[in-house]
Chain A
Amino acid sequence: MTELDSLLQVLDARGGDRTILADTQTAHMMASGHKLLSQRQVPGLELVAAETPDGITARIRVARDVQLTHPLHLCFGVLPAVGRQHIEMSLVLEQGAALDIVAHCFFPNAEQVEHVMDARIEVGADARLTYTEGHYHGPWGGVTVVPKAIVKLGKRAVYFSDFSLTTGRVGKLDIDYEVEADEEAVVELTARVFGHGTDAIRIREKLVLAGRAARGLIKTRVALEHDATAEIIGITEGNAERARGHMDCMEIVKDRAVASAEPIVKVTHPQAKVTHEAAIGSVDHHQMETLMAHGLSPEQAVDLIVGGLLGRQETESVIKFPARPANAASQAR
């Protein structure tokens, strides 16, 4: 079986659609480790990717006023138990362009895997980008994920990012996003993560609302159980007239898990406004009793509340993991 077949098999298992590879109207790029397996560009979207000794570089550009109706599919992964994947991505949407990106990242067998993403993103004036990234990890927790992005939004640009890692053990996650928004630009950063075992989660997201009437939201949803830890740092600067920012962080902790949230607000213009709210604690008691009054057991109620918070498919069961340290996983197998 080729590496492409293996990756497609994992994609199938997670409900992905392998027919996109044959669809000539849909751009895509698939990479396993440092190997490029498949790629396609479409009119208006230039995709230049290359293997390097240190990883993969990808340069993506959507031409001015091109509004793609089919999303760009990115599929990354390391299928063996040990490996490294370093992706350097440059993404540019020229003025008035529009693009949806759907990214799947697979590390189903990871025991000692590192996945690093360095992205530089420019969304031109009046352009629109949505970036949905779903991670699917195995049960061993032996993966380190380090996504970093520096994003610049032009006037009236729109950028929505949705990162989710709710299937499998997280391992170590260290997100670092910085977004600067020009006049009337709109940005929404959402991160949803479920930590188990000894998973360690750090999410740092910074919004700089630099232009007049720029608007931004940082939304973080984290559930933790066993001995998992999470450190959430949200930073929003309001530096211009009528800039509006909000940070909304909610974390549910169970067992011996530890969570922290640190909102940092900086406002340098008297007509800018930045607000924040954070809630950390066990599962809400009133929610529990409301569901139990419908006949759900306490365990079913917790699963439903956590699943909803993390935006999981309502039909998807919440996977249970044994609480054991990641380094014990390979010995136990």
Chain B
Amino acid sequence: MALLEVDHLSFRVPARPVLDRLDLAIEAGEVHALVGTNGTGKSTLAYLIMGCEGYRPDQGEIRFDGRRIGDLPLHERARLGISLAWQEPARFEGLSVRNYLTLGRGEVDAADCLQRVGLSPADYLTRMVDKTLSGGERKRIELASVLALAPRLVILDEPTAGIDLLSIREIINVISTFKTRGGAVLLITHREEVTRVADRASQLCGGRIVCSGDPETVAASYQGRACRRCNGEECDDDRAG
């Protein structure tokens, strides 16, 4: 039994279907990359798994560790061991990085978590998680906070977006750390070099998984716009949303 099982999941917004009978399984300890152009439903899938408000499946089922979680609110899914690092994390006035990294947990080595994402604890622990942080800094702190949570499954939504090229290696190391610690990762990304850290990968197009397997094959399919479903026509369409 996989840790996360997504069966025939469908979700639509008024204008169009976003996910169409999507199937996906992630094993414990697996890093699974999900690639696809803008608007193919990657983030929507993340929000459905996490249970964000306004994201309830029209059809299908999500199971975590064999348990149906479709009716659980977001924080209860988090308490089961699922977490999400948003593509654009929220900012908080008056909340220090140290306290953000230790939210809802007892003993956490906040300094170690910061170092793993390439930030100096001396410089960042006392800073606020507010608009004084750059976009890249905020993303790294979000990754550090998820590291501190040590979830059983973490969904990383475009973890390298807004991160400078030199730092991508650090982000890849963080993803490896999740795996080393036994956690599973659903990695949503556009970057081929990031996909390589995965054990398996899937390509999403038109709300369905159109290619699944080893990361190199899937990355080649994605980069070559060689989608079996749309023959590259929709894969080439960088629709927003």
Q: What is A's interface to B at a CB cutoff of 8 Å?
A: 221, 250, 284-287, 289-298, 300-301, 304-305, 307-312, 314
Contact = CB atoms under 8 A, between A and B. Distances in A.
Closest 8 CB pairs of A and B: A308-B94, A292-B75, A290-B90, A295-B104, A287-B90, A295-B78, A308-B95, A292-B74
A293 B74 contact: yes
B149 interface: yes
16 contacts: A221-B93, A250-B93, A284-B90, A290-B89, A292-B75, A295-B79, A295-B103, A296-B103, A296-B104, A304-B103, A307-B94, A308-B93, A308-B94, A308-B95, A309-B94, A310-B94
Contacts of A290: 86, 89-90
A305 B78 contact: no
A323 to B, nearest CB: 25
Contacts of B94: 307-312, 314
A313 B145 CA distance: 21
B156 interface: no
User: B interface, how many residues as a size bin?
Assistant: 20 to 34
A295 B95 CA distance: 16
B209 to A, nearest CB: 24
Interface of B: 50, 52-53, 73-75, 78-79, 83-84, 86, 89-96, 99, 103-104, 145, 149
A290 B100 CA distance: 11
A305 B92 CA distance: 7
Contacts of A291: 103
Contact of A294 (B52, B73, B104): B104
Q: Which of B50, B83, B104 has the most CB of A within 10 A?
A: B104
A314 B83 contact: no
A314 B96 contact: yes
Nearest to B91: A287
Nearest to A192: B94
Nearest to A315: B99
Contacts of A250: 93
A293 B96 contact: no
Contact of A297 (B50, B75, B145): B75
Contact of A289 (B52, B79, B93, B95): B52
A90 B36 CA distance: 67
Contact of B53 (A289, A300, A309, A311): A289
A290 B145 CA distance: 11
Contacts of A308: 92-95
Given A298-B75, A308-B92, 15 more contacts: A285-B53, A287-B90, A287-B92, A289-B52, A289-B53, A290-B89, A293-B50, A293-B75, A293-B86, A294-B103, A295-B78, A301-B75, A305-B92, A308-B94, A314-B96
A290 B104 CA distance: 13
Contacts of B145: 294
A256 to B, nearest CB: 22
B28 to A, nearest CB: 20
A304 B99 CA distance: 11
Given A285-B53, A314-B99, A292 B92 contact: no
Q: Which of B50, B94, B99 has the most CB of A within 10 A?
A: B94
A294 B89 contact: no
Contacts of A287: 90-92
A291 B95 CA distance: 12
Q: Which of B53, B75, B78 has the most CB of A within 10 A?
A: B75
Contact of A293 (B78, B91, B93): B78
A222 B157 CA distance: 33
B103 A309 contact: no
Contact of A304 (B50, B73, B74, B95): B95
B90 A286 contact: yes
A291 B73 CA distance: 13
Contacts of B78: 292-295
Nearest to B79: A295
A298 B75 CA distance: 8
A308 B131 CA distance: 13
B86 A295 contact: no
Contacts of B103: 291, 294-296, 304
Contacts of B95: 304, 308, 314
A284 to B, nearest CB: 7
Nearest to B130: A308
Contact of A296 (B75, B89, B91): B75
Contacts of B83: 293-294
